[in-house]
Structure 1
């Protein structure tokens, strides 16, 4: 179930607890836990509803500007039924905890055996170590650029990176990836320790602000929410690519940490 950044932020904040979709059949079940850019979102209900029965309260709970706006969003594919999906925030993604856990030698052996199984099952042959290495050498680089260096199609490359993320070895950034501390430990066990640029301290920029805003902030050496808090909102607004939606999402993310824009 795909969700827009605004929906995700609304569910996390508790202002959104419904979503409406036109599907040929239910695409999620009650109890489904969706891992998203803002954490885990749980599906609490799924039911088919008539478009004519939607009310303003449904629109509000879905984060729509109005009932008309909600119906306009559901105007496509009118031959498909409308489903009302209940949602609630289920907390942070457990992979965030896993990627910061440094494995013991015995656990590293188990992790490497799992990577060997992925390699053996792949139609392109071994890929896990090469993927870890290229992410390690080129953190915060776009997936299409990394895939091109490996001679791979971007969708297949992204799918494989997600398999590494499931094991806590990589983490997704607003643009590109980086190895987690767990991933660095595993790769160092294979290749020997290597010198890396110091890991940025602080809270990474939220992925929900979008790539244009992320690129604009990186261009002025702003890579974390703590660094954002040193800027005035109006100064960031003057950067090409940083629009009001991105600014609002940055503000909301900082507020959770007790931070805000400089005055």
Structure 2
């Protein structure tokens, strides 16, 4: 699902999706982990295209019934159409897990799990090297990290997902970063970490997930916190290449939640003389 679709599901504005499949690919009750949290499948029904209505289009977030039908006919028009009921089921439990610094007993269990992953890997131990690399190079593209480890990108990403399942890493719009839980594990084992000598990160509220293009556009201009966004006008942010409607909507929501606002737009012209 696209980022805008996920955001609309979380907001309750979209509660169905339509897909052309040979047979259902999801089951009722399944909770999918997405960039906005958990999305639950509430129903899966095969429906004739002729039965679709304007209400269906609105519930799916389509611009119109015609747009919905055109989208379904774009790929594999010979396949049947399924209507999938959706609902936002809450935050991803891994978000809470990665912020929870484990005690000694938990750390021992985490280490035992990492050791099992290392023993099972045909290419040899990888867990600590991956954690240390992400700690050293946060917010770096996965292909670049994979190359540094001598791995192909798909297998590297698969390994990082295993660490994320344990709450040890966090995915960013670009790359990853080590979680407090992951840092506690490395510190417990006494691994040398270059980040210990880094200056503390700039205080403030981190940017929300905006998509890689928008995040790159902002960080290139030195904007990494919401407080820095509030020093710009909305027009200035909109003018950055890569910042589109999805990013603007999420920035606005994040600013509102933090009690911040864009800087007022400069006057387009001086007031007329009296």
For normalisation by structure 1, the TM-score amounts to 0.93
* 8 Å contact from structure 2 (residues 3, 246) kept in 1: no
2:47 aligned residue:
49
**Unpaired runs of at least 5, structure 1:** none
2:226 aligned residue:
225
**Unpaired runs of at least 5, structure 2:** 265-274
**CA deviation digits over 1:188-231, x for unaligned, max 9?**
11234641442454443333x32121111001221233432332
Is residue 239 from structure 1 mapped to residue 237 from structure 2 by the alignment? Answer: no
1:210 aligned residue:
211
In structure 2, distance between residues paired with 1:5 and 1:200:
28
2:272 aligned residue:
none
Aligned to 2:63, the other structure's residue is in SS state coil
1:23 aligned residue:
21
* 8 Å contact from structure 1 (residues 173, 204) kept in 2: no
Computing the radius of gyration over CA atoms, which structure comes out larger, 1 or 2?
Answer: 2
Correspondent of 1:59 among 57, 60, 79: 57
For the structure 1 residues 200 and 78, does the alpha-carbon distance in structure 2 shift closer, same or farther, using more than 3 Å as the test? Answer: farther
In structure 2, distance between residues paired with 1:256 and 1:105:
36
Cα root mean square deviation, aligned: 1.6
Is residue 112 from structure 1 mapped to residue 111 from structure 2 by the alignment? Answer: yes
Q: How many residues align?
A: 260
For normalisation by structure 2, the TM-score amounts to 0.89
1:151 aligned residue:
150
In structure 2, distance between residues paired with 1:68 and 1:179:
45
Aligned to 1:85, the other structure's residue is in SS state strand
Matches within 5 A, 1:60-139: 60-75=58-73, 76-139=75-138
